Structure 1
Amino acid sequence: MTTTSVGSIDLAPSRASGLRFSDRRKLFLVALALPAILYVVLVAVWPLAQGIWYSFFDYNLLRGGGRRTFVGLDNYIALWADATARRAVINTFLFTFGAVTLEFVIGLGLALLLWRDGRFNRICLAFLLIPVTITPIVVGLIFRALLAVDYGFFGYYLAEWGISGPRGFLANTTTALPVVILIDVWEWTPLVALILLAGLKSLPTDILEAAAADGATALQRFRMVVLPLLLPTVFLALVLRVMDAFRVFDIIFVTTGGGPADATTSLMLYGVKQGLEFFNIGFASAIGNLTILCIALMCAVFTLLIRRADVRANER
């Protein structure tokens, strides 16, 4: 092989590494992704695997010097035998479906109202996003103060007028969970509306104009054109909110603490109490795994429903 040199610079192709350019490029990309992969493994995969492993042990930090005893599925059997755990499962499903349903319906209505570009709509959208910028703990503290019977801006008058009772809505076993759901709706409906509004903005205008030219009414255009094209965005909004609502903790923790009489106890709140208050790591791990399993099943159901609706819309 002939080499050409200019001064002391060798212009011959280097073979020292023994790797082609494509191989070196792949190694470079792997090196770039390695920190992110390590982060995901350390922060997500390893704790998840550890939680699954601990759920098969009788592991309590306050008993036996923290020794672990393999018990198999006893923690899961005890979970279903525990009345508080069963109540927490019911409360979590009620909270999730109640909050997500209201957020989707109201969010879709707001998105349709803000669909057209205009200065007024942009101003409304800016104010609408204010609740999303507040952390859930602060939102819970604000509403707990507003609904307090002795000094709350709303709670005092509601109690005086006999609407909420002498102890307020949050201290009533019948109204505590619906009020917590409404607090979550107040905070996260703007996010759902923003996601759906982004989907509406991306719809092809020529199809809508053609449907209007064919004489389709606004309701027909929404049902036969807008909604089928919006299904991927609907799927995204529902999955994000279901995943977040099912593991609700902060709002309930600061407003009711799971009470009164476990009326608002969620799976996540019960798991945190078992793990950080009673140090029952094995039982708390079983609760966490049950939460993850329920979220995965609900997301799978949403995926199946959206795919079937998409197939039906494409067949028309």
Structure 2
Amino acid sequence: MTIDTAAVAARPPAPGLLARLFPPDEPLEARRRLFLILLTLPACLYVAVFAVYPAVRGLGYAFFRYNLLKPQRNAFVGLANFEKLWTDPSSHAAIVNTLTFMASAVTAEFVVGFALALLLWRDRGFNRVVLALLLVPVTVTPLATGLMFRGLLTPDYGPIGYFARTLGISAERGFLGTPETALATIVVMDVWQWTPLVALILLAGLKAIPASVLEAAAVDGATALQRFVTIVVPMMVPTMLLALLLRLIDASMVFDTIYVTTNGGPNDATNVLMIRAVKEGLEFFNIGTAAAISAFMLALVGVLATAFFLLIDRYERTVAP
């Protein structure tokens, strides 16, 4: 058997991997779409394995009485774990405290953050220095923030807590040790840390407003208040909604600060959903109850995100020409 070396030499080489994945005879749009799919595939697989699968698995546990200490007694209980959120006093308090914390903390952060953004709107050297200093609390982890404030507010030796107790401003056990002031103190800590982030988001929205529009309104005789109400606020609505959405989602999952300061106490005054879920899952090993709390939190975040996206879409449809 003889090999025709001339035919072998004249045969075109086999196409490489890239040539097989992106044939040159295919339309450019099809090759571009395939390239984008392959580019995002690793990220999609990562999210599916480490986010979607655990969430679906946890949602399944929410319908079972599943305790790691009593595996032989696991059974399907339907919606009993969700009913426990409303009948159990600690779980019900966790829902109320979470919603109260979200409303009060995010409202204060938005108001103060908007005021700071307006003060830093003008591009001056002093404003840039102040903005850099304002971002320092954002760089501190919530765990470190909680430890710092716990040291400051300790009634025995804390620089703030000791003098507050001595002057009669706080009770003997301090701001964090009294049920009437514990949650409000946690709110103040959250406001201190995350108000600069809200201010930065709102400042970016203010910077995006064309200066020519404000100048034209000023030439027409509009006062500063009129320009703020009729131009600044309407053009800032999408940015405001985005800032509110981001902070509400983050506030619904507050954990680190409360864990290192009060751990949900005193008397469930700072017991929020994340604290309750961690206690049920990692202290009492009630995986079913912890999964139900997590599912409730996921539903809460989904409702908030959907509502805000609908508001943004409705606003854009309203103002669109």
- TM above 0.5, yes or no, is yes
Q: Secondary structure at the match of 1:28?
A: helix
Contact 1:170–1:179 under 8 Å retained in 2: yes
SS in 2 for 1:279: coil
Write the distance in 2 (CA, Å) between the matches of 1:26 and 1:312. 33
- Give unmatched runs, 5+ long, in structure 2: 1-8
Q: Does 1:41 align with 2:66?
A: no
Q: Return the letter of the residue paired with 2:55.
A: L
1:63 is matched with which residue: 64, 70, 83?
Answer: 70
Residues 228, 313 of structure 1: 8 Å contact kept: no
TM-score by length of 2: 0.90
State, as a whole percentage, how many aligned pairs show the same letter. 52
Higher alpha-carbon deviation: 95-104 or 26-35: 26-35
- Structure 2 distance, partners of 1:153, 1:135, is 21
What amino acid does structure 1 have at the position aligned with 2:99? F
User: Aligned with 1:180: secondary structure?
Assistant: helix
Match of 1:295 among 283, 301, 308: 301
- Give the Cα separation in 1 of the matches to 2:15 and 2:188: 67
Aligned residue for 2:3?
none
Unaligned stretches of 5+ in structure 1? Answer: 1-7
Q: Decide which moves more: 18-27 or 90-99.
A: 18-27
Deviation at 1:123, TM superposition (A): 0.4
* 2: CA distance, partners of 1:310 / 1:236: 13
Q: CA deviation at 1:204?
A: 1.0
Q: CA deviation at 1:301?
A: 3.2
Distance 2:66 2:229 in 1: 54
Could you tell me which residue of structure 2 aligns to residue 221 of structure 1?
Answer: 227
Partner of 1:172: 178
**CA, structure 1 residues 115+133, in 2 after alignment: closer, same or farther (shift >3 Å)?**
same
- State the one-letter code of the partner of 1:27: L
Aligned equivalents of 2:228, 2:138: Cα separation in 1: 27
After superposition, residues 104-183 of structure 1 pair within 5 angstroms as 104-183=110-189
Aligned to 2:267: 261
TM-score (structure 1 length as normaliser): 0.91
Deviation at 1:11, TM superposition (A): 8.4
When residues 9 and 177 of structure 1 are mapped into structure 2, their CA distance, relative to the original with a 3 A threshold, is: farther
Instruction: Give, in whole Å, the separation in 1 of the partners of 2:31 and 2:202.
Output: 43
Query: How far does residue 218 in structure 1 lie from its aligned partner after superposition?
Result: 0.9
Do 1:110 and 1:193's aligned partners in 2 also have CA atoms closer than 8 Å?
yes
Mark the CA change 1:31 to 1:312 in structure 2 (over 3 Å): closer, same or farther: closer
Aligned length: 308
Superposed CA RMSD: 2.3
Checking the alignment, whether the CA contact within 8 Å between 2:101 and 2:251 is kept in structure 1 is yes
List 4+ stretches of structure 1 deviating above 6 A: 8-16
